[in-house]
Amino acid sequence: MTGPAAWLRRWRIPSPPGRTPPPPSRSVPPAGRTEIGGNHTDHQHGRVLCGSVDLDMLACAAPNSQNVIRVQSEGYPALEIGLDSLSVREEEKNTSAALVRGVAAKVKELGYPLSGFDAYITSTVLSGSGLSSSAAYETLVGNIFNHFCCGDQLDPVAIAKIGQYAENVYFGKPCGLMDQMGSSVGGAVAIDFADPADPMVNMVDYDFTRSNHTLCIVDTCSSHGDLTDDYAEITRDMGSVASHWGKQFLRDVSETDFWNELSSLRVRCGDRAVLRAMHFFEDDRRAVEEYGVEFRFTADDLRPHKKYFYAMREFPEACVITVDDDLVYSEDMIASLMKYHKKYPDAVCARRVHQMAFDEENHLKPYQEWEYEYRVEGEPSHMLFATGGGGTLYPPGCLPEDAFDIRNIKRFCQNADDIWLKVMELLAHKKVVWVKNKYVMPLEIAHSQGLALNTGNVLEGHNDMYLERLMEVWADILDTLGVDHKI
C-alpha cells in the first residue's frame, strides 16, 4: 500500500486503553493564488485584487497523540518538528520546516494548546510559477492546527495572518499579506491593507469564463528560495522613499507630494527606489480601478469641494454620497444612507450631524457651541448640520446653481465645504436628517491627519468666519433657519 493512507497508517499510534480514540483524519485543500491587480502593494499597506486558482494542495492529516508534527509532502523528504522547541532556527530559513514551526509558534502564542499530528501532502500548486505555493502550504498547515488544536475557531483571515507571521519571522521573507489572504479566503477578493491588523476584504462575484479569459501558468521548474534577499530589497526601497516624509509605508504618502519631490527623491533614494515607488502608486490605483472604482483627476484645485462638485455637475439626476479619504467606513454606510433616502427623498441624509443653536437674543451661536454629534431620531430639519466625514447623501438636484460658482467658493469658503454646502442647502430650502448609526465618526486611517482641515476650521474658529462671510451675502438663510428654530 502506498500514498497518504499507507503513510498515516505507518505512523499511527494506537490509543492507550481507556482513552478516547483520536478524531478521524481530515482533508484540507487550500489553493494557489494569482495577482489580478496590486503587485507589491500589500507590504506598503496598499490595495490588491487577487484570486485563487484551481490548483491546490491537499493534506490528509490525523492526530498522533505525541508532541511532534510529522509531514510527508509527496516528492519531498519527510520533516519532523518537535513542539517542545518552537524558537526561530537560522538553519531552517527558506525551508518548509520553518513554516511549520512558525505556524505552530503563532498558534501557541494565541493561547491554543498544541498537539502533534501526522500529515501527508500532495500538491498541484506549481513551485516557482507565481502561485505562491508557500502561502498555500502555510494555509494548509494553519487549517490543520485550526481543526486539531483550535476547535475550528480561527477564520480565514486569522489563518492568513498566522501564515504571514511564519513566513516573515521563521522563513525569513518580509512578504505582505496578499498571498496568504488569496489562498485562505479563496475566490476573487479585493483587499485593502490600510490597517493590516484588520484588512477590509470584499468578495468579487465575477466569472472569468464569461469574458473568454484563461489564466496561463508556466511550470518554470524553479524555486524562489534564493530570491528572499531580492524581495526584501523591494520593501526597503519603497520604505526609503516613504521615510522622506517621515512615514514607514507608501500608503501614507500623498502621490501628489511624491511627484512634486521627484527630483530630490532621485538624489536621496536613487532611481531604483523611485521607480519602485512609481510602481506602487500605479498598481495601488489599478487594483481599485479593476474592482470597479473610477478615478477622475481635475485641473482646478477646489480643495475639499472636489468630493461633491464634479460628481454633481456630471450626474445631476443621481444621488451623490460624499466621504473623506482618511477615514475607514462601516460596511453598512451606503445601505443606511439609501434607506433614509427612500424615506426622505428630498432631504440631505447624514450619518454625522451637529444641531445648530441660537442664543437668548436669537443670534446664531458659535460653531463650537452647537450640539456636537446630535443623535436624536426625528424628521428632517434645517437646524441639523451635516458633516461630510460621517458619510452624507445628497439627493438629485438638491443644491442651487449658486453652489457651483467656483469664483465664490474660492473667495468665501475654499477650505470649508461643510459650511458652504449648509448655506447652499438653506438657500434651496433643503433639510437634513440624521441617519441612525452606532459610530457616527468613522475610524481615522493612521498617520493621515497631518494636513486635516479640522484644526483651523473648528479649533481656530475659521468656520464662524466663513459663516459670517456667507450670511453677509445670503442673509435670507437666517429666515430659513428661523422656521425650525421657532418651532
pLDDT in tens, 16-28: 344 444 444 444 4
1-13+22-295 under CATH 3.40.1080.20, yes or no: no
Look-up: residue for cell 502564542? 109
Give the integer Cα–Cα distance in Å for 48 and 3.
Answer: 38
Contacts of 368 (CB under 8 A, 6+ apart): 458, 461
**Would you say 131 and 32 are in contact if contact means Cβ atoms under 8 Å apart?**
yes
What parts of the chain have a pLDDT lower than 50? Answer: 1-2, 5-28, 451-452, 455-456, 487
Q: Give residue 189's pLDDT.
A: 87
Determine contact, residues 249/242, Cβ cutoff 8 Å: yes
Q: Give the residue from 293, 261, 341 showing the smallest Cα distance to 192.
A: 293
Nearest-10 crossing angle of helices 156-165, 96-109: 120
Q: What is the pLDDT of residue 335?
A: 92
Contact status, residue 291 vs residue 190, Cβ threshold 8 Å: yes
- Amino acid 385 reads F
pLDDT the model gives residue 204: 85
Residues 434, 343: Cα–Cα separation, whole Å: 12
DSSP lists the bridge partners of residue 201 as 191
pLDDT of residue 12: 41
Chain region(s) in the chain for CATH 3.30.230.10: 1-13+22-295
